């Protein structure tokens, strides 16, 4: 009798134990896309602090190397659509008229003013109703500075908000003689992010690089394969050999809209069958496209299509939406 009871208790403990992939994650996670970038210039420390206060589950960092190998938190390999580099260093552009992060030292990058995203050809602000371009005083920063901000805020607030770094254009870095992945993995390890339990999700559009991170570099981090083009979704089974999730453009999930109702592609269910989480990008309350309002976008993708998370410029709206659904 005693052994049967022990067996039943053991069975209960095993069945209650969350899988390794789900140890720390809410059923649906909110990823602050470039921070609370709907409210403050993207990828500034101010936008990250705001996202933290809004209780996003994860805060995103896009990463590019400086000339002196410091990982900088910035969306592109270029500087001229979010900073005043063209005014401060007018002679430092390349033949294509672009200014590259990789051509500047960390000290030089720190002299630049960061501003709301704009078109470098026309000077026009990308999202006209967001933080006014050219106002305020914002700076670029390193990956280490951002991790210290988030870990510091986690300590002072008692929260455990994660990081969601993206290795940007590894092939470009390689052509420039740099190994972005190696540097990022070292920073992550230095700050305690080594396994799936460490509240870090590493993402990359470059499938070869992400596969290498798992299979050659033996990383045990939670890996998300970003997907840009619809044809890449055919490689789902292969992605599942090294990744824990996918990050598709949200339109790859939508099929048609008839009588104001959306139908869906098989992407989410196919991914779920393979054990992959699905975190689509990008939920923007001021760029709705086929949706009549932001609530419809959240309901359609998060609930009806049953994705596992959302990259959003407006993390507060998604956090509130999900709170109401509990
Ligand atoms: O990384 C996922 C999401 O950020 C979409 O990509 O182009 O904004 O870095 P991107
Ligand atoms: Ca990104």
203 lines ligand 1 (CB under 6 A): yes
How far is the C-alpha of 117 from the C-alpha of 132, rounded, in Å?
Answer: 10
Say if CB 247 and CB 31 are below 8 A apart: no
Residue 291 half-sphere exposure toward CB, CA atoms < 13 A = 18
**What is the model's pTM?**
0.92
Does residue 173 have an active-site annotation? no
- Name the residue with the closest Cα to ligand 1, atom 10: 75
Q: Is residue 287 pLDDT above 70, yes or no? A: yes
Closest by Cα among 74, 124, 125, 131 to 99 = 74
CB atoms within 10 A of CB 42: 28
Task: Report whether residue 312 contacts ligand 1, using a CB cutoff of 6 Å.
Answer: no
Q: Which two tokens stand for residue 239?
A: 């992605």
Domain boundaries 2-325, corresponding CATH code: 3.20.20.190
Element holding 41 (H helix, E strand) = none
Assess whether the C-beta atom of 151 lies below 6 angstroms from ligand 1. no
* Residue 259 confidence (pLDDT): 87
Whether the pLDDT of residue 14 is over 50: the answer is no
List pLDDT tens digits, range 134-161.
999 999 999 999 999 999 999 999 999 9
3-class SS string, 225-245: EEECCHHHHHHHHHHCCCCCE
Question: Model confidence over 66-105: pLDDT tens digits?
Answer: 999 999 999 999 999 999 999 999 999 999 999 999 999 9
Distance CA 72, CA 106 (A): 8
**pLDDT tens string 196-238:** 999 999 999 999 999 999 999 999 999 999 999 999 999 999 9
Nearest by Cα to 36 from 16, 18, 59: 59
């Amino acid at each position: 009798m005693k052994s049967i009871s022990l067996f039943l208790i053991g069975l209960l403990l095993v069945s209650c134990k969350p899988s390794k992939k789900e140890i720390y994650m809410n059923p649906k996670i909110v990823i602050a896309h470039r921070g609370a970038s709907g409210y403050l210039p993207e990828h500034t420390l101010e936008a990250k602090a705001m996202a933290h206060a809004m209780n996003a589950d994860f805060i995103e960092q896009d990463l590019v190397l400086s000339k002196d190998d410091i990982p900088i938190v910035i969306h592109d390999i270029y500087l001229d659509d979010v900073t005043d580099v063209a005014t401060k260093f007018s002679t430092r552009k390349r033949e294509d008229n672009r200014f590259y992060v990789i051509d500047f030292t960390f000290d030089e990058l720190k002299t630049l003013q960061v501003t709301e995203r704009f078109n470098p050809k026309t000077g026009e602000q990308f999202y006209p109703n967001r933080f006014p371009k050219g106002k305020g005083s914002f700076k670029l920063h390193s990956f280490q500075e951002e991790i210290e901000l988030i870990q510091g805020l986690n300590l002072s607030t008692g929260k455990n908000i994660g990081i969601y770094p993206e290795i940007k254009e590894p092939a470009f870095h390689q052509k420039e003689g740099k190994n972005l992945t190696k540097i990022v993995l070292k920073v992550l390890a230095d700050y305690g992010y080594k396994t799936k339990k460490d509240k870090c999700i590493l993402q990359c559009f470059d499938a070869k690089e992400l596969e290498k991170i798992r299979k050659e570099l033996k990383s045990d981090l939670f890996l998300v394969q970003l997907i840009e083009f619809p044809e890449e979704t055919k490689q789902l089974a292969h992605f599942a050999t090294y990744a824990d999730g996918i990050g598709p453009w949200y339109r790859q999930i939508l099929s048609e809209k008839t009588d104001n109702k959306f139908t869906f592609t098989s992407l989410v269910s196919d991914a779920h069958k393979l054990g992959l989480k699905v975190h689509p990008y990008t939920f923007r309350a001021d760029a709705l496209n086929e949706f009549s309002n932001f609530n419809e976008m959240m309901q359609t993708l998060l609930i009806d299509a049953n994705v596992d998370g959302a990259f959003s410029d407006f993390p507060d709206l998604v956090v509130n939406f999900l709170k109401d659904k509990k």
